[in-house]
Amino acid sequence: MRIRAWGAAAFGLALALAAPVVSYAGSGAAAEAASQRIASAEAVPIEGRTLLMREGTWAFEARRQPEPTAPPARARQRRERPNTISLGFQGQYGAVRGNSRIADGFDQGAGYAFRFRYMLSSHSALGFSFEHQRFGSIQPPLNNPGAFADSHTVVTTVAAEGVFFIHREREFNPYFLGGFGFATPDIIYTESQAARSNEGLFATVGTGFERFVRPRFSIDVSIRGYASISNSEVTTIGQIAAGIHLYPGD
């Protein structure tokens, strides 16, 4: 009895181990045909997967991962595009120093400026500045008849500048600038008389930043220095300016 019981258990175990093979191959003639097809093929589809013959051994084909795709290119904002024209307006306050007639008689005052920029690349621009700066007299005006006293001076300038931006793609854009221009200072006397002094070329350097509050509208703040040599006299001006800048267009 024990021998029969062990024999039945062994037969059941053999059937259980043979079940996966039977499930793929079938039985009888179908099993023989499937075995011949597998033996003569190099690739056999089974339940959505492919069984491949590799170096005499059957193995399931590895599932392929999708090809990596590059993210779409970021569209440049208008302020980054070459050939973009922008314009701005700033109010400013400055002080004059040196050994020229302008520096000897005047000290500080307010003014305004118009700024135009033409983008050469995504991080550089050619700028043009037109400024009107007024400086007050160091000494109070004299009201004695026949006595002239310097009342104030007005300096009108036009300049071309190279502007170099940092992190142009961000909302906060620091920049540096440098260039050359031409200044025409006019001394205005108390009795409505005027005289031009220290007219000539000047160099300018500066730094600043734009803070964009809209894609085409920014707050523009800058600090600038000017230096001019005329008739062997040196005139220097330090200036801080703040205003707005616009980028019209599409």
Q: Tell me the H-state helices in 107-209.
A: none
Least confident of 37-46, 84-93, 176-185: 37-46
Instruction: Say if CB 161 and CB 149 are below 8 A apart.
Output: no
Instruction: Say if CB 127 and CB 103 are below 8 A apart.
Output: no
Query: Does the global pTM surpass 0.75?
Result: no
Give the count of beta carbons closer than 10 Å to the beta carbon of residue 225: 14
Three-state SS letters, 55-86: CCEEEECCCCCCCCCCCCCCCCCHHHCCCCEE
Single-letter amino acid code for the residue at 48: G
Could you give all domains of the chain from N- to C-terminal order, each with its CATH number?
A: 2-60 (no CATH), 79-246 (2.40.160.20)
Q: Which residue has the higher pLDDT, 238 or 59?
A: 238
Single-letter amino acid code for the residue at 12: G
**Selection from 96, 86, 141 nearest residue 117 by Cα:** 86
Listed in sequence order, the residues at least 6 apart from 40 whose beta carbon sits closer than 8 Å to its beta carbon are none
User: What local confidence, expressed as pLDDT, does residue 35 receive?
Assistant: 54
Which tens digits make up the pLDDT trace of 5-15?
555 555 555 54
